Amino acid sequence: MKLNERSVAHYATCNSPPDKTGFLFKKGERNTAYHRRWFILKGNMLFYFEERESREPIGVIVLEGCTVELCESESEEFAFAVKFDCVKARVYKMAAESQAAMESWVKALSRASFDYMRLVVKELERQLEEVQGERLLQAKNKAKKHLSQVQGAEAGLRTAAPSLQNAAITGPLQEGQSSRENGVSWSKNSGVANGVSEGCAWEGDCSARAEGVRPPPVPPRRKTNGGSLESPVSPGTGCFSKLHDWYGKEVAELRIEWLQSK
């Protein structure tokens, strides 16, 4: 793979945040001694500098398709190797300054390839689909529960509506209740003797009583005898005309007595 040296050098020293930085001992290809170098990991590219303050890298390792293995040699403490699948590919050997630094670098380099990132992205997408599926299922169950509650409430209203309507239209006033009209309420008097009502109690405004306002007269209610409309006081007055004539005669007699008394 051809690389533009200027572009690679600019990418190594630009302000983009690195994935990992630190000192490592790198084993030379010709000179097998270990040399202390400053390493910067960005994406799948591992840059190494001669010094930390160096402006340009002295080399770069493209980590795509590599494997990172620990070195089992006792003479090489905290050492690991970066290997590739190609037969003629170079094996890069490096060593850290401590066990913790070695483990950190091995983990970072193993996760630097795009193949690993692709696997991570697929796994994250799978987990996201599972979460979205669970949330969608919960939303559907919640919507079904709410719909069933609404339908049950509507059914209850439809069942109770006819009885409520009949009670509002045809429901009579219970005994002891009074009807109120034009600011005056009328109620039955508790005193009833011989089956004849003695009238109604007026429960109007107290100010109206103070001004001398009297309640309108209530026509007397007569007790019927065996279903007959005749008055026990004035027999033969079964109809209204006869009753009118009978009271007329009484009034005429009373008028004559009054005139004679003068």
Provide mean pLDDT across the span 171-195. 48
Dist CA 203 CA 184 (whole Å): 6
Phi-psi region of 118 (alpha: psi -120 to 50; beta: other; left: phi over 0): alpha
18-52 confidence digits (pLDDT tens): 999 999 999 988 888 899 999 999 989 999 999 99
Strands (E), 50-172: 59-62, 66-70, 79-84, 92-95
In the predicted structure, residue 3 carries a pLDDT above the cut 60 = yes
Structure tokens at 23: 């000192």
CA angle, residues 141, 127, 66, in degrees to nearest 5: 175
Dist CA 247 CA 234 (whole Å): 9
Q: Which CATH class is domain 5-112?
A: mainly beta
- Predicted TM-score (pTM) above 0.75: no
129-154 confidence digits (pLDDT tens): 889 888 888 888 888 888 888 878 87
Dist CA 163 CA 184 (whole Å): 30
Lowest-confidence segment of 6-10, 93-97, 246-250 by average pLDDT = 246-250
In the chain, how long is the greatest CA-to-CA distance?
163
Q: How far is CA 120 from CA 37, 86, 206, in A?
A: 30, 25, 89
Between the ranges 105-109, 112-116, 138-142, 149-153, where is the mean pLDDT highest?
A: 105-109
Dist CA 46 CA 63 (whole Å): 7
* 247 or 139, higher pLDDT: 139
